[in-house]
Structure 1
């Protein structure tokens, strides 16, 4: 396994609206623990789509882990051209910071958003160019990640495709351990 997708809930789905929300530290700790294990078993590239929330927090964790694992790479592959262009200034600046720290940045569609087919094509591109996924997602509490999780389950019927879930129980247990 060398290429891993990180995805999960958007910040608004978790009720996170400020950078100092304690939920972010818990999620990042779980991401770091899981990523460390996966990097030590061969993951080289971590791919995200740039969404706010778990994907961006995951990118921040990857950049922190580069200090101990300089061989890992971050790929940011947006679903369409000008992704995030209509976000508020603070969120656009955060996205720019992640883009500037990435080892590779591109978009699967080189046109601005036109229709949901671009999102489906993006999802399939990520699945075709990865070997596994790490999701902060609990199937009992659906969000937009439901669609990626379902696509991963379909992918796993065609080829071996591990999906590592960080669910709400794991997040809660992480809080209790501290």
Structure 2
């Protein structure tokens, strides 16, 4: 069962994409922190979200539309969304951080396969053997993008 933070994060992100699709830029501004932190991975000419959100792309420009897949996933304050723009043959993944109902960070990946892994530290089974304070680390894949092409470069992100 989803916790309240994850449910609220997904609602905020869903509201953002609805506002982008309907060109309600007042709502977009309300949902974004004024100093949203931006990370981008992909070809520089694929920074469509940044162009749209910063106003560098004319509001009436309909050449790139972000329609998310329905399988939006959240892990605490982090919300993962992916989509595909058929007209431009671009798959995309956006990873948002939601803080108090506002989007404070976005990591944008274009034509890149993304796997999200959760790293957990576990105490060593025999602390008397190793007194260095080390811990065993376990990695579990918790999400993988589905829309990027097989030839796309892959990244693994750790939570």
TM-score, length basis structure 2: 0.27
Which of the two has greater helix per residue? 1
Higher-RCO chain (CA-CA 8 Å, sequence separation at least 6): 1
Which of the two has greater strand per residue? 2
Structure exhibiting the larger radius of gyration computed from Cα positions: 2
TM-score, length basis structure 1: 0.25
